[in-house]
């Protein structure tokens, strides 16, 4: 294995380049970091079976100074940089620096017609909530996520780590406005005028929207093709957005089984 180059100074040109690579967020992001050996291994396991994981193209392995090499360093055949503790902590934006990280390029978003089942997070600001929504959708057979404005960046290093790699499981594309196709479009909403999920037509093509954690669909003007869908609850005012999405995705999968 090639001996890793060691970086100990923030003024090092390669370190400054790393910082610049991962700084942009949202749609401007073209590179990110997969933080920690477990998350890198999770990506490695699905890289050939998941279209979402295939979007991540490895560029540089980063290893904490004094830590033994990881087996995947050789398998990936990329350069390795060894970083001092303070540099790794700063780059990862984490209190405890990971022992390993992988710098990756992000390939292009999916394009063309939407697949049969799509989850549509809209204004989901918490990375944990967004990750839970994506994981539930993937677990219940949804094939893509369409992210609306105001959503957390699913590809930021902290989001990838905090959401347990949900972005490896479900292809993600962004949209600034909704232009419904001929599918069944439902926005989860417990208010007046909502159709109970038990009586809704959840056949494919199906698109389920999940609104902002705090204000839901208040202030949003949705296209007329989108119907409100409610989940019956007792004793509480509302469900967490990720919980509601999980229930809706499960119900859709149950009907199609």
The model's pLDDT over 96-139, given as tens digits with 9 standing for 90+, comes to 899 999 999 999 999 999 999 999 999 999 998 999 999 999 99
Do 149 and 211 fall into the same domain? Answer: yes
Do 122 and 221 fall into the same domain? Answer: yes
pTM of the model: 0.91
Do 131 and 86 fall into the same domain? Answer: no
Structural domain boundaries enclosing 55? 5-106
Residues of the chain with pLDDT under 50: none
User: Can you give the CATH number for the domain in which 138 is found?
Assistant: 3.40.1280.10
Question: Structurally, how many domains does the chain consist of?
Answer: 2
Residue 119 near residue 252 (C-beta atoms within 8 A): no
Residue 215 near residue 179 (C-beta atoms within 8 A): no
pLDDT at 247: 96
Helix axes 13-22, 85-92, angle to 10 degrees: 20
Do 101 and 154 fall into the same domain? Answer: no
Do 89 and 165 fall into the same domain? Answer: no
Segment 132-171, tens digit of pLDDT: 999 999 999 999 999 999 999 999 998 888 778 889 999 9
Non-local CB neighbours of 106 within 8 Å, separated by 6+ positions: 29, 30, 31, 32, 55, 56, 57, 155
Gap between the Cα atoms of 250 and 254, Å rounded: 6
Residue 102 sits at φ, ψ, to 5 deg, of -130, 120
Do 215 and 150 fall into the same domain? Answer: yes
Do 91 and 178 fall into the same domain? Answer: no
Coil/strand/helix, residue 237: coil
pLDDT at 191: 77
Do 128 and 219 fall into the same domain? Answer: yes
Within a domain: 133: yes
Do 136 and 50 fall into the same domain? Answer: no
pLDDT at 2: 57
Within a domain: 183: yes
Cis peptide before 205 (omega within 30 of 0): yes
Do 172 and 235 fall into the same domain? Answer: yes
């Amino acid at each position: 294995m090639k001996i890793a180059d060691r970086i100990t100074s923030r003024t090092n040109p390669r370190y400054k380049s790393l910082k610049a690579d991962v700084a942009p967020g949202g749609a401007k992001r073209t590179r990110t970091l997969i933080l920690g050996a477990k998350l890198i291994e999770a990506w490695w396991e699905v890289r050939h079976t998941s279209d979402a994981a295939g979007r991540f193209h490895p560029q540089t392995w980063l290893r904490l100074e004094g830590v033994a090499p990881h087996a995947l360093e050789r398998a990936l055949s990329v350069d390795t940089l060894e970083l001092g503790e303070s540099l790794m902590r700063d780059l990862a934006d984490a209190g405890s620096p990971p022992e390993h990280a992988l710098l990756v390029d992000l390939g292009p978003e999916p394009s063309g017609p939407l697949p049969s089942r799509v989850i549509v997070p809209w204004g989901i600001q918490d990375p944990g909530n967004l990750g839970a929504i994506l994981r539930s959708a993937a677990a219940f057979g949804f094939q893509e996520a369409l992210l609306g404005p105001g959503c957390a960046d699913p590809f930021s290093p902290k989001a990838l780590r905090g959401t347990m790699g949900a972005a490896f499981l479900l292809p993600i594309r962004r949209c600034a406005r909704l232009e419904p196709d001929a599918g069944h479009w439902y926005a989860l909403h417990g208010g007046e005028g909502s159709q109970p999920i038990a009586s809704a037509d959840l056949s494919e093509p199906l698109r389920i929207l999940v609104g902002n954690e705090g204000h839901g669909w208040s202030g949003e003007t949705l296209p007329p093709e989108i119907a409100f869908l409610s989940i019956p609850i007792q004793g509480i005012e509302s469900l967490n957005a990720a919980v509601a999405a999980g229930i809706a995705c499960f119900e859709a999968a149950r009907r199609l089984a």
